Structure 1
């Protein structure tokens, strides 16, 4: 017990000292990596996130979330076992991207609008990337293929929904129905907003202030993790991790460059996706699958941003991180399965004989040839499984 306390106390400090030492030893490289993080923040994150964060804050403060939540509450209870206002957080997150979903979910929990179990279920699937990043930055800007962006976006949201279905029974909590009818609840919500005596411009100013502060924090995380990744690279730690991963994956023909790009994405997804797209020796299906995993998992930089909000509540950050790992796995799997819809020709380049052993086999070729038959069967099985989970849950709640 004492050893665990000793380790938990000194480990963060040792890591920080190691990074500071790296900055002292490699000042020029640290400055360049910080500039790269600053560029990502100013050119990508601020234009894409700030309007959505301000709008999301206004939607919450104006009680629009509460009203729409009351309307869609029966549907969201059936599918995800969360209230309507919680499900609306998912909708806002799908439009705005990281870390808005986790921020709004944490605020709902911090103000006791939802229970701890519902908050845990909510953050498991409401923390998503946005279409501007997936279609615009990754697919069009990096992969030079906008059609791939729509496929990756669909798979990203399907992965999120799948995680939400897995977590729907967490806590074994059954949400109660509103005591009054819909009209009465909406009127009560309007009355409570009017009683707060806060005008639109006051709320708008608060939303802008909160949004700017949130983006300043996001920018700090991006810059810090850019420097951290550079320092770890200069100390050859990233190369060591890449070599360890490359050894088993080399039997599948995966190049070391692709492994290095994937590891970089585990730290910062924008940098990682860009490096993955630039690997010319790998087929697009493999690069798209790995990029989908990274976007779903979100990387340590975004995980740190989201956990900064979540850790202020009683939501379990460990379960949240595990749900993001599942999100990445589902998104990557769906991208791999649905990719034949994008390409009707051979999906794999002959960059390695060992890679061809893995892909140029009977099962893979059979799937490519008959994917129009196999893919609908997979979709039917997926829908049937979802309906079975919903049916069992509803029957258990009646007992």
Structure 2
């Protein structure tokens, strides 16, 4: 039944592309421009450097300043700590990709990999401070966006540890240094992942453009739907449609969830490790819900302080 559904969906998509080829062309061009101008320069260098660090077994050097903090509050091994740090600094889908690679290499256990997938895949600070912050209404401070994206990681980690029965710090596993990649292998592996990411960005950019052409005269619904499909297009639509704190709320929620494009990008980098994309979607939905709740609560703080 699942295969039949996707067969029908692929045929329907083909007819849609043939009926409106100009929209497909423009959407594909927008997606590839976004990939080439934003995603590749910001993600590929980090991905190559990450592969080289792992190949040289230099993980412990990078995580040394935050090792105790991550062990205490997140109960992670050294390799797991590196996966979390890389996911926080580099953005989607670097955290999930590192987690998957470490499971394949035997650096982390299956239990820690499942736990990590719930907390290690997030938008990078560069994306938040650069692109997402530019779409915020003037009355929404940037610190509020950052807090609502990153603070929910801690309660999500507590829930995930309970779900996967992680009761204490995970011990580090022995590393097989003979399996290390060369620089050329690391470069080619990173380029292959980037091509996959570019393909998904292009496809979902086409879908996003078709959504903008729908004969729906409720722009708020359309903007929220775009945010669920692809976050860059969604942030732009939300900033043009909503004003005030409601605009900041929906931008934060869309960014925390990552969109369907982010989900498919993540699926493409974890499929060989045996991780569940369904679990990932559930944790991202939970993270998005916590982001909305935290945004509403923090938005009430100035009013409470100002009241007599």
Which structure exhibits the higher relative contact order, with contacts defined as CA atoms closer than 8 Å and separated by 6 or more residues? 2
1:151-300 equivalences under 5 Å are 151-174=144-167, 193=177, 196=178, 203-231=182-210, 239=216, 256-279=218-241, 282-300=242-260
Counterpart selection for 2:276 from 309, 312, 316: 316
Q: How many Å separate the matches in 1 of 2:211 and 2:168?
A: 46
Tell me the equivalent position of 2:76: 82
Q: How many Å separate the matches in 2 of 1:284 and 1:331?
A: 17
Unaligned runs of 5+ in 1: 1-6, 180-184, 244-255, 345-367, 374-399
Question: What's the CA shift string for 1:51-100, capped at 9, x where partnerless?
Answer: 21112212222212256668966653442233232122111111111110
Asked whether the 8 Å contact 1:273–1:291 carries over to 2, the reply is yes
Asked whether the 8 Å contact 1:99–1:127 carries over to 2, the reply is yes
Asked whether the 8 Å contact 1:93–1:130 carries over to 2, the reply is yes
Unaligned runs of 5+ in 2: none
Q: How many Å separate the matches in 2 of 1:70 and 1:112?
A: 21
Q: State the aligned residue count.
A: 307
Task: Give the TM-score taking structure 1 as reference length.
Answer: 0.69
Tell me the equivalent position of 1:52: 46
Please report how far the alpha carbon of residue 289 of structure 1 lies from its aligned counterpart in structure 2 after TM superposition: 1.0
Larger Rg: 1
Counterpart selection for 2:141 from 123, 127, 148: 148
Tell me the equivalent position of 1:395: none
Q: How many Å separate the matches in 1 of 2:127 and 2:10?
A: 31
Tell me the equivalent position of 1:248: none
Asked whether the 8 Å contact 2:137–2:247 carries over to 1, the reply is no
Give the superposed CA RMSD. 2.9
Q: How many Å separate the matches in 1 of 2:83 and 2:110?
A: 16
Tell me the equivalent position of 2:104: 110
Task: Give the TM-score taking structure 2 as reference length.
Answer: 0.88
Asked whether the 8 Å contact 2:140–2:245 carries over to 1, the reply is no
Question: What's the CA shift string for 1:27-69, capped at 9, x where partnerless?
Answer: 1111011111112111211121112111221222221225666
Note if 1:303 corresponds to 2:263: yes
Q: How many Å separate the matches in 2 of 1:35 and 1:333?
A: 36
Counterpart selection for 1:332 from 292, 296, 299: 292
CA gap 1:15/1:57 in 2 versus in 1, 3 angstroms: same
Q: How many Å separate the matches in 2 of 1:276 and 1:107?
A: 35
Tell me the equivalent position of 2:13: 19
Question: What's the CA shift string for 1:98-119, capped at 9, x where partnerless?
Answer: 1100000011112222222211
Question: What's the CA shift string for 1:128-184, capped at 9, x where partnerless?
Answer: 1011111111112x23759733321222111223211211122324467759xxxxx
Asked whether the 8 Å contact 2:212–2:222 carries over to 1, the reply is no
